[in-house]
Chains A and B, each alone.
Chain A
Amino acid sequence: MSTTETKAVLKGGEFLIKESDSATIFTPEQLSEEQRMFAQTTADFINTRVLPNLQKIDKQEPGLSVKLLEETAELGLLGASVPEEFGGMGVDVATDTAINEEIGKGHSFAASYAAHTGIGTLPILYFGTEEQKQKYLPGLVNGTLKAAYCLTEPGSGSDALGAKSKAVLSEDGKYYVLNGQKMWITNGGFADIFTVFAKIDGDKFTGFIVDAKSEGLSLGSEEDKLGIKGSSTRQVFFNDVKVPVENVLGEIGKGHKIAFNVLNIGRYKLCVLALGGIKAAATTAVKYANERIQFNVPISSFGAIKHKLAEMAVKAYACESATYRTAGLIDEKIAELVAGGMDKVQAKLVAAEEYSIECAILKVFGSEVLDFVVDETVQVFGGTGFSEEYPAARAYRDARINRIFEGTNEINRLLSVGQLVKKALKGEMDLFTPAMAVQKELMSVPDFSAPNTDDFFGAEKKALTNVKKAILMTAGAAVQKFMQGLEKEQEIIMNAADMLIELFVCESVLLRTERAIAVKGEEACALQIDMTRTYISDALERINLSGKHAITAFNEGDVLRVMLMGLKRFTKYEAYNTVAARRRIADKMIEENGYCF
């Protein structure tokens, strides 16, 4: 591992080619007392106001979700990340993360909150004119206005720019006439304002702020959904709706900038919300496993159940590490941009775009860990897991949407690799030199050097340096082989994305634990070390498999053999007793009766 390449803050995607210093990354352990108090306030609200009302929320008791949103406004939570000049609290991404993690335990309410504060509020905050911001943001922050975001249409989901909704300027030039149909609109039933995307004259994709009371705007009935049943989801119809020209959001024909940029931070936040759900479900599972007696003992005493509980913890810890690391990266970038004279709001937008690869990675990882954890929670519950009278079923149903909205996980996998390739082609990141170095290494005598034994995580660090080589080898060869045609080879891109995701997560876990050890010592971090080694040990197997699928798809003969041998070398890690490690991890959860790391 080269220390000369260590840099304080990495640019977006640079984790693939550079090393990070654990002393410079942000970890949840560094949250201040004030940040923890904000999180506790949110937790108190969720515990006392949302969780006791889950059934009523799921049945969409009239006015309940609206009332709860207004109560969060009183606590300051609707404007947590909105600048103070518009009535918000102007907190940084790390603080907002601590808050949203607790919101994420709120099932359907979390979706209502996230839609309002995220895709509902951010387009106006980032792209609104000063007049638009002054007109709408204070109301969105104090809860008198609720917002929704209308992008998806029956014929355009992942292909967002294929929207058919149209806007035509009136003859007197005072307003646009909007026609079209939008669907899956979260908060649709009660929103006061909609951010709507439509094509002016059929081709200029543009954003508009539309008043819900506008003549010609009508709503479909509530969708009967698989999960998050308590969130309002409707179709919104626009029939000759007159939208004043001053309500055009951003530049005409530049609606895609709004749609896509808002999604970067949205994807990050989705992972944060998922993280809250992950921890809540893990705790639910542990509690039940401790209570449920079979064969005269709690089922938590069985190895098969311990394995499940520990795996929940390992993945939750991994997800948390990657999430807060990214929060730190974005906050550092914002600080750097603001120091350079950029406006804070603009800086956040630019910073989120800088880390769009990490945001896409987190969206995929967070939602998939959540699905894994809720699925295993149902399994731990056994028959009762299948009953709506117990909490596992709701958690299971509510989790599923996360792999679909804010860009499906497939779209986000394509994006993560696509962005990387784009950065390389634009010359923003030199992937070529390290990829060439790997190719050269493949042809030379293998590196049999021992890991740095002075470094506690010497073996793991060596393994992750090699994973970077494995990805560069696989992706580099694919780019060489397919050139511009690579985007048609989606299976290979999925494999590369999976390798990239695992690398980012592995490295985040390792750096977080290393930082914790520096503060508290090895003994106090024994279980964190177990989680780190368990995660990395399994991840290397998954990385190997993804690499094998990809390489075998477009190579053969000697080249294939050389690459497979390289892959094997690059994903090597000393055997680690993960059974014993998982037992230790589970035993702690059983003792603490919940997720406790």
Chain B
Amino acid sequence: MKILVPISKVPDTTSKIAFVDNNTKFSTDNVQFIMNPTDEWYALTKALELKEAQGGEVVVIHAGLADSEQVIRKALAIGADSAFRIDMDPTDAYAISVEIANHAKTGGYDLVITGKETIDYNSFEVGGMVAELLDWNAVALVSKLDIAGGKATATRDIEGGTETVEFSLPAVICATKDLAAARIPNMKGIMASRTKPLTVLAATGADKLTSIASYQTPEKAKECKYVSVDNVAELVRLLHEEAKVI
């Protein structure tokens, strides 16, 4: 089975979020970038588990500029066989999806597994768009996946419970928690990652359907006031005069 895993580069969760150029650009100063956790912990590792159980090949693909190579090397260190980098500034989910779908179309893949969302823009878009562009089955929020005899069974999270679906391959899976166990790259994997193939592909120049007008950070939480349970009058006064909700 040949599996394609699209991976994204995101700021580390402890990064300080700041915007520049009149709030139109995310400031990358002192930001540590990492592989998107759901791509790494669930999508890539599930692909590796499938390969280890059934044979095949795991290929990672990333839309990004040359400074993403460290993240790609980590995917190779964890165990992917080869990697592609589509040389583009990844600002629009549609454009990224077109590039990934173009590659997937001709690559002979049986399955695309990606994380359910990226932790920076949280748009949940790429997986579904890639499936649509390829006209493949798509299953989102997958927490369990079995594949046997060309048939796939997936358990996906739905509101208040889970749903089990059967579908045929090829398909696009968006991985969520529990799909696989996260792996720490071992030293041999890290050394091997240097020599595994990493091919840079020119972007085909798909249309960008969105652009970011401006960013805004959430308002700081207001100071919390404590009122004694015996002092209802004060509570009413505060709600009326300060919070202005009654």
Contacts and interface: CB of A to CB of B under 8 A. Distances in A.
Interface of A: 33-34, 37-38, 41, 44-45, 48, 74-77, 80, 89, 91, 593
Contact of B187 (A33, A41, A44, A593): A41
A74 B186 contact: yes
Contact of A75 (B14, B182, B187, B194): B187
26 contacts: A33-B70, A33-B73, A34-B194, A37-B73, A37-B74, A37-B77, A37-B190, A38-B190, A41-B184, A41-B185, A41-B186, A41-B190, A44-B184, A45-B184, A48-B182, A74-B186, A75-B184, A75-B186, A75-B187, A76-B188, A77-B187, A80-B187, A89-B187, A89-B188, A89-B191, A593-B14
Contacts of A45: 184
A48 B190 contact: no
Interface string B70-85: 1001100100000000
- Which 5 pairs across A and B sit closest by C-beta, in order of nearness? A76-B187, A75-B186, A44-B184, A37-B190, A76-B186
Interface in B5-20: 14
Given A34-B191, A41-B187, A44-B184, 11 more contacts: A33-B70, A37-B74, A37-B77, A41-B190, A45-B184, A76-B186, A76-B187, A77-B187, A80-B187, A89-B188, A89-B191
Contacts of B194: 34
A37 B185 contact: yes
Nearest to B34: A40
Contacts of B188: 76, 89
Nearest to A75: B186
Nearest to B77: A37
Nearest to A36: B70
Nearest to B14: A593
Contacts of A89: 187-188, 191
Contacts of B186: 41, 74-76
The DSSP consensus for interface residues of chain A is: helix
Nearest to B194: A34
Contacts of A75: 184, 186-187
A37 B193 CA distance: 11
B60 to A, nearest CB: 16
Nearest to B182: A48
Nearest to A48: B184
Nearest to B30: A592
Nearest to B70: A33
A75 B187 CA distance: 6
A76 B188 CA distance: 7
Contacts of A33: 70, 73
Contacts of B185: 37, 41
Contacts of B193: 37
A41 B184 CA distance: 6
B187 A38 contact: yes
A293 to B, nearest CB: 12
A158 to B, nearest CB: 36
Contacts of A74: 186
Contacts of A37: 73-74, 77, 185, 190, 193
Nearest to A47: B184
A76 B187 CA distance: 5
Interface in B157-206: 182, 184-188, 190-191, 193-194
Nearest to A37: B190
B53 to A, nearest CB: 19
A594 to B, nearest CB: 9
A6 B223 CA distance: 61
A91 B190 CA distance: 13
Contacts of B187: 38, 41, 75-77, 80, 89, 91
A84 to B, nearest CB: 10
A48 B184 CA distance: 10
B115 to A, nearest CB: 18
A76 B193 CA distance: 15
A593 B14 CA distance: 10
Interface in B192-237: 193-194
A77 B185 CA distance: 11
B180 to A, nearest CB: 15
A48 B183 CA distance: 11
Contacts of B73: 33, 37
Contacts of B182: 48
A91 B193 CA distance: 16
A34 B190 contact: yes
Nearest to B186: A75
B50 to A, nearest CB: 21
A76 B70 CA distance: 20
A509 B190 CA distance: 31
A256 B194 CA distance: 42
B177 to A, nearest CB: 15
A38 B14 CA distance: 21
Interface string B50-81: 00000000000000000000100110010000
A563 B74 CA distance: 59
B132 to A, nearest CB: 36
B166 to A, nearest CB: 34
Nearest to A35: B190
A91 B77 CA distance: 17
B69 to A, nearest CB: 9
Contacts of B191: 34, 89
A408 to B, nearest CB: 34
A44 B187 CA distance: 13
Best-surrounded residue of A37, A41, A48, A77 (most CB of chain B within 10 A) = A37
A91 B194 CA distance: 15
A41 B188 CA distance: 11
Contacts of A77: 187
B79 to A, nearest CB: 13
Contacts of B184: 41, 44-45, 48, 75
A586 B126 CA distance: 43
B208 to A, nearest CB: 31
A33 B76 CA distance: 14
Interface string B83-125: 0000000000000000000000000000000000000000000
A526 to B, nearest CB: 15
Contacts of B74: 37
The CB with the most chain A CB atoms within 10 A, among B14, B73, B182, B185, is that of: B185
Taking each of B14, B187, B188, which has the highest tally of chain A beta carbons within 10 Å of its own beta carbon? B187
Contacts of A34: 190-191, 194
Nearest to A89: B187
A48 B70 CA distance: 22
A89 B191 CA distance: 9
A158 B33 CA distance: 48
Contacts of B70: 33
Nearest to A99: B187
Nearest to A49: B184
A425 B118 CA distance: 66
